[in-house]
Amino acid sequence: MRRRYCQEDDEATIDLTPLMDIVFIMLIFFIVTTSFIKESGVDVNRPSANTAERKEHGNILIAITANDEIWMDKRQVDIRAVRANVERLKAESPEASVVIQADKDSKNGLLVQVMDQVHLAGILNISIAAVKD
């Protein structure tokens, strides 16, 4: 018995399904592990300083406007709510630091009160944002 081999025009194909699975898994991994930048919600006119340094890791941002409003997470908060909000944000990222963006026309007393509330929340790493001259 002889077998006849028939050559058909079969083209070699590459199955892309495993490749697509790997790409989507990597995409999900990078999305989950990325730290998102949180904003205070308002723009402030920061004072200038010769010794200002750029700080890359300020996870909790607090803004104080010129008319003495306090903003956190794109919403206005009362001075009495600063501590609770900072504690909540600290629970989300335990190694967080605080950057206070105080407008140059805001009151120093309010800045000190905000810093005190942040200290009471248990964060000792506090920075005040300024523009380098």
Average pLDDT, the chain: 80
Domain boundaries, the chain: 48-132
According to CATH, what is the number of the domain 48-132? 3.30.420.270
- The one-letter amino acid at 60: I
CA distance 131 to 41: 18
Residue 59 has pLDDT above 80, yes or no: no
* Structural contact between residues 81 and 44, judged by C-beta atoms closer than 8 angstroms: no
80 and 120 in contact (C-beta within 8 Å)?
A: no
Give the three-class secondary structure for 92.
Answer: helix
| Pick from 17-26, 36-45, 76-85, 100-109: least confident | 36-45
The pTM of this model reads 0.62
